[in-house]
Amino acid sequence: MATSSTVQVSLPMPKIPRARRSPADIAAAAPVTGERHVLLAAPRGYCAGVDRAVIAVEKALEHYGAPVYVRKQIVHNLHVVSTLEARGAIFVEENDEVPEGALVVFSAHGVSPAVVASAADRNLRTIDATCPLVTKVHKEAVRFAREDYEILLIGHEGHEEVEGTFGEAPDHTQIVNNPDEADTIEVTNPDKLIWLSQTTLSVDETMETVRRLRARFPKLQDPPSDDICYATTNRQDAIKAISPKSDLVIVVGSANSSNSVRLVEVALEYGAKAAHRVDYASEVDEAWFEGVATVGVTSGASVPEVLVRDVLALLADYGYGSVEEVTTAQEDILFSLPKEIRAKLKEAGDDSRGPGGRITKSDISS
């Protein structure tokens, strides 16, 4: 007779909502001088590459059906990932976790040729959702390696984007993590040297790294065009504009989002008295509002606008109902969906692109 066995499952403790102090309690703890208001940075939130990658997974689920496997997080945002999981996406770390012959989407951060090859070995059907701006850096790495340049890749070792770019030319590439490493890194041929970078870095820190590299290697060449993407630059410029006027800055974004983490650093560097990153409005500590008249708000390039609205609603509850949007750039960039998705949509007669990631004035007032 077969015997049954008991499998013990460890369940996480349920989260208990934290009891918030009232607006009156906060006001009593530290009176505010002046009118409470919010400076809302623009641009913020979804960039074109994130928009494209998220829609690619949504359309894959719609037309291929669940499950759709995704290697790594499609973009670095907890809310986006959990929402797609609820619709049938399965996120994996490596291709060997995907059943042979199944459909897998490569994330917006890009993959190395070795990852592409391993997918082919397992007969996986692939959709490449790599951001076109990351693809541009990959092509630069291939080109300069072919021309026998030594490549200094400025970026964070271990980040998925850096792993993908490094994998295009590992024998020609060294990673430079920060300005201090620029002072110690050694190269083989300083006369044939070029730098490339991760697309989501701090613009100021990257330029400092380049300055220090060039002080040691005067013939260091620049990439043909900026590697740091337009969205990263624009969001950093916007936070620079509001930080000097902000007693507190709240950045909406996930801990593994490089560009979101950088926004907190930039806010502090440019004059914000305090700056914090949160995934959700529920993570905002009302104690941060003590003595605060002006709150700056922004979000990283992989953050849907609904999460920002939740933070604004919380702020309104605490007396910060006046919102001024501070715009430093206009964005109208859209990228075509991955070719595999475009072909599937054409086959199905689906001429919809899906929701866009642009932010307009009407979005704020509605």
Residue among 140, 160, 161, 290 flagged as catalytic: 161
- Judge whether 257 is annotated as a binding position: yes
CA–CA dist 37, 229 (Å, integer): 31
- Joined tokens for residue 214: 């060039």
- Judge whether 258 is annotated as a binding position: yes
CA–CA dist 154, 180 (Å, integer): 12
Strand order in the sheet with 248-252: 275-278, 248-252, 294-299, 37-42, 323-327
CA–CA dist 167, 146 (Å, integer): 14
- Please give the distance of CA 246 from its chain centroid, rounded to a whole number: 23
Check: CB of residue 326 under 8 Å from CB of residue 297: no
CA–CA dist 228, 137 (Å, integer): 10
Amino acid (1-letter code) at residue 322: S
Rounded (5°) CA angle 26-36-42: 120
What one-character-per-residue DSSP string does 140-189 give?
Answer: HHHHHHHTT-EEEEES-TT-HHHHHHHTTSGGGEEEE-SHHHHTT---S-
- Judge whether 159 is annotated as a binding position: yes
What one-character-per-residue DSSP string does 207-250 give?
Answer: HHHHHHHHHH-TTPBPPSS--S-HHHHHHHHHHHHHGGG-SEEE
Check: CB of residue 97 under 8 Å from CB of residue 118: no
- Judge whether 37 is annotated as a binding position: no
Residue whose C-alpha is closest to residue 79's, from 303, 338, 318: 303
**CA distance readout (Å), 141 to 23, 134, 157, 191, 216:** 54, 11, 16, 17, 22
Residue whose C-alpha is closest to residue 46's, from 362, 338, 257, 321: 257
Whether 161 is catalytic: yes
279, with CB counted inside 10 A (0-12, 13-18, 19+), is middle
- Judge whether 47 is annotated as a binding position: yes
- Judge whether 63 is annotated as a binding position: no
- Judge whether 276 is annotated as a binding position: no
- Please give the annotated binding residues for dimethylallyl diphosphate, written as ranges: 76, 109, 159, 257-259, 302
Q: Which residues are known to be catalytic?
A: 161
**Could you tell me which residues are annotated as the binding site?**
47, 76, 109, 131, 159, 199, 229, 257-259, 302
Tell me the binding residues for isopentenyl diphosphate: 76, 109, 159, 257-259, 302
Please report, in range form, the residues annotated as the binding site for [4Fe-4S] cluster.
47, 131, 229
